[in-house]
Structure 1
């Protein structure tokens, strides 16, 4: 396992400033990570810079699903669904420790007219179940040989057995269908690690502030090291803008007129107690909303993730759930469940922006925004990849590299289709070994399961740390499976530079803990300080910064309308 510590970051910054690369990727979310991986896999020299932390934007704010997007079928977005289902299958193959199948219970109620967000209906909703069945057959068929399992019809009784807190009044029957689940931030780290293993140089907290040009062509990016407060230029033959909802801002730095309009759409999620919802291993699809959205309740270790909304824009750097967003989600939760859930029951909320795209030309259709991705080449040579969704990150990267191959008059190859991500080695054989070793070290079963699911075969390194110092096997928070050794691992192998990097992205503590990490930030910062040689004054400052950020977020949720 290649180290990725503050020392490697400093070394990388030096390399970035003094070398010329084939490709510079701007953006350290899952799309940028995917582009970096595909590029090194095709033999290019690659650099990647990210203005904040890796996966700190949309790539840690999703519903944590790897799915085809069942709600796009009624809109006849067949190609989009097919592409996503193929990618779902490849992720299950290439990252088996990180992506797992999950069954979805889809209940059908008397009087439903727009289940799964169907834009059309039938008189009095008669025959909708047959239409849904046909749609689910299509969903299975579009996945082809990579389908997880066929959907099937279930009785009213089985719906209530699988989802006992669903309202029984008016419930007629249901369906079970299958999709995948992942940890989005961990997936991004796995993709980045795989790229680094093949030679990519990456750095977080490195913001592009401008471009260098020669003969009206971009030759380099001016980069500000946010942590070291220094500026340097990274030169590359091809520069890729993979910044999602910030794509237009980066294009404007190049004095470009964007060809696409990126319209951010905010998705809000609530994190709730799985026990309180009596949620088993199956996810639940809430059948109908007035605005024809689709809402999921998805099991997430001891928690449940519930969402999502599709609302307007706001501060792109600090998306928050407004009172309206929270009220909207609670309204439907309490309509369809027998347990009463109030704001006091919410463990945490989170929000992220999807980069939905539409053409800028006035004569183009803007009737609906699309999740379909777009690769755009500007006159100055900057190439922008935007749109898409978590599930299709690999295909987006592949399309980007195909364009760069054509620029270089090279025949495109697609190596990432069968490239296992870092941590997948000999899985599930390694999984059994982790279980045996973890038990020997005295780790509880849910800690062992968590380590395997988050790190794959790299969990052996964390167990090495525990073996050397048993105190590192202690939990950070009593009712969550995260242990102290993960903090050390994040500093040494995942370029964690600030407490929020660990609490919000290397782990999901900020989502799963009712205090959002405030009670443990002192301990995390202390462990990081030992690794990163922080003086006590810097420890205190970083702790206070984290606490202020969390308190500002909570305040914004309570007062934003």
Structure 2
């Protein structure tokens, strides 16, 4: 597999400064990576830059679901739901190791008037279960032949068997429906490696600070290397702004009034223990909230993800979970479950901003805004893609590149509809080989399962590292499946440049560990130092920077 190390990054920066590309993509989240892959698969020469680390924004802050968006059915947003369900099926086909079907338990209580955030109701709630049944049949139907499994109507007893900590008082019946689950960051990293295989030249910590113009038309972007400090210009025929909630900021750098209007909406999640929730493999949809939100409890890795809120914006670069956000989520958790959890039971929290497309009329709640994406061309030639959701990243990229094809008078082709992502080839066979390889090395079944689910067939490269140095099979944290070899792999093949890149994105240690990685950051930095040739002082500074930022985040949660 192609190297994506710190040395490769330095080489890429040189190439970015000295080559004229067909396409420059600004933004290294899932949408930007999707565009880079689609463009390179269509035969374009592609550059991509990201001001922080890949997937450091919204693309690491989702509910980790690949779903149609059942909450949009009651809003009659059928086109969005259908699009997302089709994309869910394509992702399951093209990256089977990254997507797992999960059953959702949807309980129905006496007196519920707005289950799943329904914006309307019936007199005294009569017939709502029938409406939900019809809606779920539509949900299944819109997925077509790629549907994961059909929903079913279940009894009160079956609801409590699948979700034993649900409050039984007033519980009438329920439904089971199916959606997909993924690791959002691992998906972004997989897109990065697939795009690189097709020739895309990428760099993280490379920030666009301005643009070059010829007349009124953009010809390049001025970029600052946020690690080395140097500044250079990337020249490209087409420039694509895929920066999500920062779309307006980037568009403003052209000197024009931004055409795009983005309403950032903060989503907060709590990470909890499976034992505390007493949850199995099924997710739970909590009943109605006063503001008609839909709240999910989703088993994920060794933990449970619970969320999400839908509140206004703050510092877009540093989203934090406030005391109010946490109190809101705990209120509904303790209302509908028989367990009683407090802030002390929270393992971690995380917050991110959704780039919702803003309506022209003011004063609407962000919970009501559509997740439909928009591709907009500015007079300078800048193309902006924003809105959408994790599940529809591929379609967003396809629509963006269709516009570029039309600009170039080229008939659009859609290669990513059936393009296996890196690590997916012959997955059932590869899965058995990973199991055998891991067993030979003495790895636990938990670690083997984790490596296969995170890296696909590339897990064999991690095991090859262990064969060269058996100490690399040691776990970084005793109750989590992450091993030292993953640090080396991330430095060599995923352009990890700082300890935070490993602890927050290449792995999910910051979410799953009660210390949020502070107890293992020195060891991670030591392993990275050998790969990136850090001096001792640089290693210490990066370690302390990580600890300080985590401590600041914890303090912010108390406000």
Distance 1:318 1:490 in 2: 24
Distance 1:163 1:74 in 2: 25
User: 1:251 is matched with which residue?
Assistant: 251
CA contact (8 A) 1:259 1:360 kept: no
Deviation at 1:287, TM superposition (A): 1.4
Deviation at 1:367, TM superposition (A): 11
Secondary structure at the counterpart of residue 188 of structure 1: helix
User: 2:408 is matched with which residue?
Assistant: 408
User: 1:292 is matched with which residue?
Assistant: 292
User: 2:28 is matched with which residue?
Assistant: 28
User: 1:104 is matched with which residue?
Assistant: 104
Aligned-pair Cα RMSD in Å: 1.3
Deviation at 1:275, TM superposition (A): 1.4
CA contact (8 A) 1:205 1:226 kept: yes
User: 1:334 is matched with which residue?
Assistant: 334
Distance 1:190 1:541 in 2: 30
User: 1:504 is matched with which residue?
Assistant: 504
More divergent stretch after superposition (324-333 vs 434-443): 434-443
Distance 2:292 2:433 in 1: 47
Where do 1:330-479 residues align within 5 Å? 330-359=330-359, 368-479=368-479
Deviation at 1:360, TM superposition (A): 5.2
CA contact (8 A) 1:16 1:234 kept: yes
CA contact (8 A) 1:269 1:350 kept: yes
User: 1:72 is matched with which residue?
Assistant: 72
Superposed CA deviations along residues 145-170 of structure 1, whole A, max 9, x for unmatched, are: 11100000111111111001101111
Deviation at 1:366, TM superposition (A): 10
CA contact (8 A) 1:259 1:359 kept: no
User: 1:540 is matched with which residue?
Assistant: 540
CA contact (8 A) 2:247 2:260 kept: no
Distance 1:360 1:415 in 2: 35
User: 1:188 is matched with which residue?
Assistant: 188
Secondary structure at the counterpart of residue 138 of structure 1: helix
Superposed CA deviations along residues 21-40 of structure 1, whole A, max 9, x for unmatched, are: 00000000000000000000
Secondary structure at the counterpart of residue 173 of structure 1: strand
CA contact (8 A) 1:86 1:146 kept: yes
Distance 2:165 2:361 in 1: 49
Deviation at 1:368, TM superposition (A): 4.8
User: 1:113 is matched with which residue?
Assistant: 113
Deviation at 1:439, TM superposition (A): 1.2
Deviation at 1:260, TM superposition (A): 2.5
CA contact (8 A) 2:265 2:366 kept: no
Deviation at 1:504, TM superposition (A): 0.1
User: 1:38 is matched with which residue?
Assistant: 38
CA contact (8 A) 2:28 2:53 kept: yes
Distance 1:468 1:111 in 2: 62
Distance 2:191 2:488 in 1: 20
Distance 1:109 1:470 in 2: 54
Residue ranges of structure 1 left out of the alignment (5+ in a row): none
CA contact (8 A) 1:28 1:55 kept: yes
Deviation at 1:358, TM superposition (A): 2.4
Secondary structure at the counterpart of residue 428 of structure 1: helix
Distance 2:374 2:360 in 1: 13
Distance 2:466 2:390 in 1: 33
Deviation at 1:124, TM superposition (A): 1.1
Distance 2:274 2:214 in 1: 57
CA contact (8 A) 2:356 2:366 kept: no
Structure 1 residues 176, 236: CA separation in 2 closer, same or farther (over 3 Å shift)?
A: same
User: 2:522 is matched with which residue?
Assistant: 522
Distance 2:542 2:205 in 1: 15
Distance 1:58 1:455 in 2: 21
User: 1:219 is matched with which residue?
Assistant: 219
User: 1:204 is matched with which residue?
Assistant: 204
Distance 2:344 2:358 in 1: 39
Deviation at 1:365, TM superposition (A): 13
Superposed CA deviations along residues 4-23 of structure 1, whole A, max 9, x for unmatched, are: 00000000000000000000
CA contact (8 A) 2:22 2:237 kept: yes
Secondary structure at the counterpart of residue 527 of structure 2: helix
Distance 2:360 2:209 in 1: 25
Deviation at 1:299, TM superposition (A): 0.4
Secondary structure at the counterpart of residue 63 of structure 1: coil
Secondary structure at the counterpart of residue 305 of structure 1: strand
Residue ranges of structure 2 left out of the alignment (5+ in a row): none
User: 1:141 is matched with which residue?
Assistant: 141
User: 1:10 is matched with which residue?
Assistant: 10
CA contact (8 A) 1:107 1:287 kept: yes
User: 1:489 is matched with which residue?
Assistant: 489
CA contact (8 A) 2:310 2:367 kept: no
Distance 1:41 1:436 in 2: 33
Secondary structure at the counterpart of residue 261 of structure 2: strand
Secondary structure at the counterpart of residue 304 of structure 1: strand
CA contact (8 A) 1:275 1:302 kept: no
User: 1:91 is matched with which residue?
Assistant: 91
Distance 2:394 2:140 in 1: 21
Distance 1:43 1:20 in 2: 15
Distance 2:275 2:367 in 1: 42
Q: TM-score scaled by structure 2? A: 0.99
Deviation at 1:310, TM superposition (A): 0.3
Superposed CA deviations along residues 519-557 of structure 1, whole A, max 9, x for unmatched, are: 000000000001111011001000000001100111111
Distance 2:184 2:365 in 1: 32
- 1:549 partnered with 2:549: yes
Distance 1:143 1:260 in 2: 31
Q: TM-score scaled by structure 1? A: 0.98
Secondary structure at the counterpart of residue 431 of structure 1: helix
Deviation at 1:369, TM superposition (A): 2.3
CA contact (8 A) 2:55 2:185 kept: yes
Distance 1:145 1:366 in 2: 33
Superposed CA deviations along residues 474-510 of structure 1, whole A, max 9, x for unmatched, are: 0000100000000000000000000000000000000
